[in-house]
Amino acid sequence: MSDKPLKKRFTDMLERSQKNGSFSFTDFLSAADAAEVYEIAQDNEVSLFGGAEGTERVMIRFGNPEELGYEVPFPIDIIKVSPLQAKFSDKLTHRDYLGALMNLGIERDTIGDIVIKEDAAYIFCVEKMSDYILENLNRIKRTTVLCTRMEGAVEDVQPTLSERTVVISSLRLDSILSKLYNLSRSDSKALFAEKHVLVNGRLCMNAAHSPKEGDVISTRGYGKCIFESISHETKKGRIAVNVQVYV
């Protein structure tokens, strides 16, 4: 989606929320598209959420609960999809689940992340689509599946993190990404110019940016990580940093 129509849409939604004194929500957006909202809105005017910690696709909520005086949750449901007979099921991939949903005529922007854990998948969707999915998604490839709406806690869909330590010459984000994803420094720098790097949901075009503890870094085409801490300095004066990588 090009920047101008997206920003115009965000501006209209923000103005409508302020005029009516009510919340309004987008459907699901990519992290990069959602980041565009900060070009037209202040931090306290919008919230971004995808249904659980660490989701890539998110909704934007326009409206400040403190100013409006009430709270409205994000209209997101999580559907658990599991095989009726696990031992006879296909090994299903993200593409398989998404393809099955698209074959039902469901629009992509009504679907958020699809998280696969062992034999089950968890589909994040807008509330208005959950009943349709529950009623119609009963087969993926050759596997008959059961769909149930998750209620309450969502521990099963929390991201899996793997700790890594990378050694860099200076605390620059391009240096960290270069080591983390085995890229040349020029390729790592190019990610910033191409608008492929987000820090805490915001576009980062400064390759020399120094991340802070807890910063969530998303790199389009490569993945997502959390900058944890500086571990130590090596004898050669290089810096070892700890990073939690989403797997």
CATH of the domain at 170: 3.10.290.10
What number is the average pLDDT over the span 119-145?
96
Domains identified in the chain, total number: 3
Domain that holds residue 98: 76-157
Considering the domain architecture, whether residues 15 and 59 belong to the same structural domain is answered as yes
Could you tell me the pTM of the whole model?
0.88
- pLDDT, tens only, 30-69: 999 999 999 999 999 999 999 998 899 999 999 999 999 9
pLDDT of residue 88: 75
Neighbour-count burial of 175, counting CB atoms closer than 10 A to its CB (0-12 exposed, 13-18 middle, 19+ buried): buried
Considering the domain architecture, whether residues 241 and 172 belong to the same structural domain is answered as yes
Q: What are phi and psi of 244, to 5 degrees?
A: -95, 120
> Does 154 score more than 80 pLDDT?
no
When the pLDDT of each residue in the chain is averaged and rounded to a whole number, the result is 93
Considering the domain architecture, whether residues 131 and 186 belong to the same structural domain is answered as no
Categorize the per-residue pLDDT at 153 as very low, low, confident or very high, splitting at 50, 70 and 90: low
Considering the domain architecture, whether residues 153 and 202 belong to the same structural domain is answered as no
Q: Please identify, among 103, 122, 157, the residue that sits at the C-terminal boundary of a domain.
A: 157
Considering the domain architecture, whether residues 143 and 184 belong to the same structural domain is answered as no
Q: Give dist(CA 241, CA 247) in Å, integer.
A: 18
Considering the domain architecture, whether residues 139 and 84 belong to the same structural domain is answered as yes
Considering the domain architecture, whether residues 110 and 167 belong to the same structural domain is answered as no
Contacts of 37 (CB under 8 A, 6+ apart): 10, 46, 48, 60
CATH number (domain holding residue 57): 3.30.1370.160
Higher-scoring residue by pLDDT: 2, 10:
10
What number is the average pLDDT over the span 202-207?
96
Contacts of 154 (CB under 8 A, 6+ apart): 51, 52, 78, 122
Considering the domain architecture, whether residues 64 and 42 belong to the same structural domain is answered as yes
Considering the domain architecture, whether residues 27 and 58 belong to the same structural domain is answered as yes
- pLDDT, tens only, 220-229: 999 999 999 9
Considering the domain architecture, whether residues 58 and 102 belong to the same structural domain is answered as no
What number is the average pLDDT over the span 155-176?
91
What number is the average pLDDT over the span 137-148?
95
- pLDDT, tens only, 66-96: 999 999 999 999 999 999 887 778 889 999 9
CATH number (domain holding residue 150): 3.30.70.330
pLDDT of residue 1: 46
Q: Please identify, among 16, 49, 68, the residue that sits at the C-terminal boundary of a domain.
A: 68
Considering the domain architecture, whether residues 130 and 150 belong to the same structural domain is answered as yes
> Does 2 score more than 90 pLDDT?
no
Considering the domain architecture, whether residues 137 and 214 belong to the same structural domain is answered as no
